[in-house]
Chain A
């Protein structure tokens, strides 16, 4: 899937002027249209409403929204999942979007960091996602968070661009304290390499 929120230059603190951005965990049906319109606007891949529901209903705790307090506008969002994948409990960042005028203020970093933290606390061993090889901003952002480029996926996107599969491995806890798996039965993951032909 896509993760496109170029967050190039500076990181960390939001720059002044616009005031503090407010970050909110997915709160229910009223947030869904906000998430959908942001993603539809910014990402190349088309998603049906079922895809959004799949994520936000099963893992609402992994979806976050960023609001500009000035006008209450939703300016960014992250949508994720987690589950069993080939014997590992794995988090997956499906969509990450920040509106163009708000980029470079650390909003994407903050959104995705919140999701990753929940994943880590939920017992995930690793986190993965795909990003277009041309999306330098996203690649730099995830690189700073400790993701490596594990694979290149040839012509992954409908627009013909290659993708990188990015992976973040969490440090292993003591072998005896292996976290319990909560969600299972994710047989669909084997199709993730190519959701479309």
Chain B
């Protein structure tokens, strides 16, 4: 504001050139003063552009819910905290206590690291450690220094993988480093520094063992960790497993980042070593507990160290001023036991990634990611998987996405074909495939939203392809034996695109169950839509198989990879059959719910403001806009649901049909345990629902004592009817 309130007699400054010279300048101070007198606390001058974002961005200073700066830190700076002695180096002048406290710092940092991975800021977790904030102070303390250095380097590497994977705001908190000392020149040497410390302690441990055997007093040339010879061996062990865990974990993180997945095998070995060290850490707990002062111990659910003692050297509130101007998120640190469990899960998830065969066949890649997501992995492993799958816009940083597509079309002849690669549809589809892989690595909530939005893009390309095909080659869509290559490629590309569009649509629908987005009164329409989408998916899949059979038939037996192709041809029908099971489950559930609605008035939800039609439109809006499939409206659903009856359902029993399919599926999936487990689940759902249907039919759906509810006890996407009589 330019209006000057100073009362000095200096001449007013000349107006800036942007203001016409004819403007007259006036002193606005009295007006402002009057306005200020008129305003009460909390009142504001309301401008037309006053937005909710503006209002919500306002913070009330000194309100404990909003002002993260006021958190009751006794210290105004790290230096002040250090001067006050909260992070002494050495940690104690008593050498045994020094080692105990060093172990506590390591353990607490471990809990902090897990808490950070679980979605909090570095500043509020790992970097609440004053030793880490001022690492130079620890240079005289080799053990602590080497530990902190490698931890910091690991944090930096993990931040880097998560920022590379960058998919949405989930990682914002994770990667914010607020100018923390996350990187230092010496950190490349962290491994060699750690190795030499590890070596020293390992030698000391060997000396202890030898000493125990020979009952000799001391060993020259070696310095003990602390003063009590009886405890030396246990302290050596406790330190070693913690240091080694850090070493192997650092290796895991760096190996996984090697281009083209070249480090996977080595990473896997380090994952196994990490798990071994984790169990040794757990084993050290009894000893550390027995040595700690009982009065300082906290309960297992909250204590962040193995010994149970609160560590020295941390201040949780010092960093709060570094946080962005937002209300502080409540940080509840994971306990040490929970942190162990977190890292075990993390390592198992990373192990799955390491087991990737780097398969270039898209169907298998998609299956791998979907399977990986079943264990609900956290942000860090998902980021690692994404950076493995997509590097420099290529699959594994190795395969061009257009080659991935031509391979999927079973047209090995056109791999590397420039004309195919340059085709605008192939370029666009290539980008969609890469995006799809990235989306599939995000958390399910975000994944569903992005999948829903991408449906429009998939469907637009389908429509354009179809249009182009009609323009160039006329109406026919079946693959004829004697047509030219160009036409065949175009047709197969269209079929492939539509198949994947419906694959995305189906995943979009089933994720709604995992996210609990559907209420029981909506199950009927959701299963009905799933049924419709699955039918289309099978249709496109069969067309693709037909075309690829045609390709291999044309090629004859001269190609050397014939045997591989024919094995794939026979594998495809079983994936169709698996989809057929889902079709039967979806249709069966939808019709069972519709019959219950028709005959017992249940599973309906009348509301005063809208009807089922509006709920249908809302749930399937993105599918409808993308015309997936065409000519499907709420009325198609109502039409097919209105005729459903329990009597008809028992006559044509969808759930019984499933048992006719599964035996042959078991045979084809005999070597794939995950798929066998899936078939088992399908059979259980079918069996439970078959029985439920029988009971309902015997009792009569209209019987007022009948209570039917649906539960997801056997499959995450397909409900099981539970029948009770009151």
A191 touches B53 (CB 8 A): yes
Q: Which residues of B contact A196 (CB under 8 A)?
A: 56, 326-327
User: Which segment of A2-10, A68-76, A100-108, A159-167 sits at the interface?
Assistant: A159-167
Q: Is B18's CB within 8 Å of the partner chain A?
A: no
Q: Is A38's CB within 8 Å of the partner chain B?
A: no
A148 touches B522 (CB 8 A): yes
B56 touches A169 (CB 8 A): no
Q: Is B446's CB within 8 Å of the partner chain A?
A: yes
- Taking the nearest CB of chain A, how far is it from the CB of B171, in angstroms? 11
The answer for the CA separation of A53 and B170 in the assembled complex, in Å, is 30
- Residue of B43, B58, B63, B618 most packed against chain A (CB within 10 A): B618
The answer for the CA separation of A133 and B514 in the assembled complex, in Å, is 13
User: Which segment of B340-348, B463-471, B545-553, B609-617 sits at the interface?
Assistant: B609-617
B610 touches A171 (CB 8 A): yes
Q: Is A150's CB within 8 Å of the partner chain B?
A: yes
Q: Which residues of B contact A194 (CB under 8 A)?
A: 169
The answer for the CA separation of A143 and B443 in the assembled complex, in Å, is 25
Question: With contacts A152-B445, A194-B169 known, is A51 near B56, CB below 8 A?
Answer: yes
Q: Which residue of B lies closest to A192 (CB)?
A: B52
- Taking the nearest CB of chain B, how far is it from the CB of A123, in angstroms? 14
The answer for the CA separation of A51 and B50 in the assembled complex, in Å, is 10
Q: Is B726's CB within 8 Å of the partner chain A?
A: no
Q: Is A22's CB within 8 Å of the partner chain B?
A: no
A150 touches B445 (CB 8 A): no
Q: Is A153's CB within 8 Å of the partner chain B?
A: yes
Total chain A interface residues with beta-carbon distance under 8 A: 47
A143 touches B614 (CB 8 A): no
B605-633: CB near A (< 8 Å → 1, else 0) gives 10111110111011100000000000000
Q: Is B473's CB within 8 Å of the partner chain A?
A: no
The answer for the CA separation of A197 and B170 in the assembled complex, in Å, is 10
Q: Which residues of B contact A46 (CB under 8 A)?
A: 63, 65-66, 327
Q: Is B46's CB within 8 Å of the partner chain A?
A: yes
Q: Which residue of A lies closest to B59 (CB)?
A: A48
A57 touches B46 (CB 8 A): yes
Question: With contacts A146-B614, A152-B445 known, is A195 near B516, CB below 8 A?
Answer: no
Q: Which residues of A contact B329 (CB under 8 A)?
A: 158-160
The answer for the CA separation of A128 and B390 in the assembled complex, in Å, is 36
Q: Which residues of B contact A120 (CB under 8 A)?
A: 609
Question: With contacts A46-B65, A48-B56, A149-B517 known, is A168 near B605, CB below 8 A?
Answer: no
Q: Which residue of A lies closest to B168 (CB)?
A: A154
A59-77: CB near B (< 8 Å → 1, else 0) gives 0000000000000000000
Partner of B609, one of A47, A146, A197: A146
Question: With contacts A145-B607, A197-B172 known, is A171 near B56, CB below 8 A?
Answer: no
Q: Which residues of A contact B443 (CB under 8 A)?
A: 154
- Taking the nearest CB of chain A, how far is it from the CB of B602, in angstroms? 15
Q: Is A90's CB within 8 Å of the partner chain B?
A: no
Question: With contacts A53-B44, A169-B615, A170-B609 known, is A150 near B55, CB below 8 A?
Answer: no
Partner of B330, one of A57, A113, A158, A192: A158
Partner of A160, one of B48, B55, B330, B445: B330
Q: Which residues of A contact B172 (CB under 8 A)?
A: 197
Q: Which residues of A contact B324 (CB under 8 A)?
A: 197
Partner of A146, one of B444, B448, B608: B608
- Taking the nearest CB of chain A, how far is it from the CB of B709, in angstroms? 15
B165-177: CB near A (< 8 Å → 1, else 0) gives 0000110110000
Partner of B615, one of A49, A148, A153, A185: A148
- Taking the nearest CB of chain A, how far is it from the CB of B160, in angstroms? 20
- Taking the nearest CB of chain B, how far is it from the CB of A170, in angstroms? 6
The answer for the CA separation of A74 and B102 in the assembled complex, in Å, is 55
Question: With contacts A146-B609, A153-B445 known, is A51 near B52, CB below 8 A?
Answer: yes
Q: Which residue of A lies closest to B614 (CB)?
A: A169
* A residues adjacent to B (C-beta < 8 A): 46-51, 53-54, 57, 81, 113, 116, 120, 133, 143-146, 148-155, 158-160, 162, 164, 167-171, 185-189, 191-192, 194-197
User: Told that A150-B619, A196-B326 touch, could you supply 9 new A-B pairs with CB distance under 8 A?
Assistant: A51-B58, A53-B42, A53-B43, A146-B609, A159-B329, A170-B614, A195-B57, A197-B172, A197-B326
Q: Which 10 pairs of residues, A with B, have the shortest CB-CB distance?
A: A146-B607, A188-B51, A46-B65, A54-B55, A169-B614, A49-B42, A50-B55, A152-B445, A191-B53, A188-B53
Interface pairs (29), CB distance under 8 Å: A46-B63, A46-B327, A48-B56, A50-B44, A51-B56, A53-B42, A54-B55, A116-B609, A145-B609, A146-B610, A148-B615, A148-B619, A150-B618, A150-B619, A151-B517, A152-B445, A152-B516, A158-B327, A171-B614, A188-B51, A188-B52, A188-B53, A189-B52, A191-B52, A194-B169, A195-B53, A196-B56, A196-B326, A196-B327
